[in-house]
Amino acid sequence: MFNLILFGPPGSGKGTQSEKLVEKYRLVHLSTGNLLREEIANKTPLGLEAKNFIDKGQLVPDEVVIGMIDSCLDHHKAASGFLFDGFPRTAAQAQALDKLLSLKKSEIALVLALEVSEEELVKRLLNRGKTSGRSDDTNEKIIHQRFTVYNNETAPIAEHYKKLKRFQSIKGEGSVEEIFDSLCQAIDKRMKNFAY
């Protein structure tokens, strides 16, 4: 299996690039953001709980998202690889992911981190908020709260993957196609040297 994590702050283009990458590399796309929004749209108890956190710019509790990922991995037993989009976001989630993959005798092959300035991120998120109806994208205060959570809880887990030499930063500003090309180059290079 070839497992990839797309890493980066809110609005860095993880969702946008994931859609293109899963098509090209035939990976199963696991976006915790999309899974949570589906639960919210279906008004499930999990969705109602998650909405409270998302609306405030906070992370949904670890046990909720880890449980979701666990059951998704179970549903795709024959997958040739996964693209994790927006997961892991905390140290506990990163540890849980390592454990779940090792049970499948697998691991993370590569973490690609999209680098985008905060000014550009705010612009993109407010712009998406105009049409998406996403409550977490319309209020600039909530957007800044999401950046604070990212800097405190998510950014530090990059160290774990840097130690394993599985981490690479990618310039996340420019056209969607330019960024996609940079991501593909990094993936192709890693695939050549990865036994799976």
Q: Would you tell me which residues interact with ligand B4P (CB under 6 A)?
A: 8, 10-16, 32-33, 36, 53-54, 59-60, 65, 86-87, 89, 93, 124, 128, 136, 146, 176, 179
Complex with ligand B4P: residue 81 or 86, whichever CB lies closer:
86
Q: Which residue among 56, 128, 162, 190 is the active-site one?
A: 128
Q: Cβ 27 to ligand B4P, closest distance in Å?
A: 16
Least distance from ligand B4P to the Cβ atom of residue 174, Å: 6
Phi-psi region of 5 (alpha: psi -120 to 50; beta: other; left: phi over 0): beta
Contacts of 44 (CB under 8 A, 6+ apart): none
Answer whether 53's CB lies under 8 Å from 61's CB: yes
Q: Is 190 a catalytic residue?
A: no
β-sheet bridge partners, residue 168 = 112
Residue 124 designated active-site: no
DSSP 8-state symbol, 172? -
Cα–chain-centroid distance for residue 90? 11
Q: Which is nearer to ligand B4P, 8 or 81 (CB)?
A: 8
Please answer whether residues 36 and 55 qualify as being in contact, where contact means their C-beta atoms are separated by less than 8 angstroms. Answer: no
DSSP 157: G
Measured from the CB atom, is 82 or 136 closer to ligand B4P?
Answer: 136
Considering beta carbons, is residue 123 or 196 the nearer one to ligand B4P? 123
Catalytic, out of 37, 56, 104, 134 = 134
Least distance CB 192 / ligand B4P (angstroms): 26
Amino acid, res. 40:
I
Nearest to 111 by CA among 33, 3, 20: 3
**128 given a catalytic annotation:** yes
Q: How far is the CB of 184 from ligand B4P (least distance, A)?
A: 15
Active site residue 141: no
> Is 26 annotated in the active site?
no
Query: What is the Cα–Cα distance from 190 to 127, expressed in whole angstroms?
Result: 34
Q: Which residue is nearest to ligand B4P (CB)?
A: 33
Catalytic machinery residues: 14, 89, 128, 134, 146
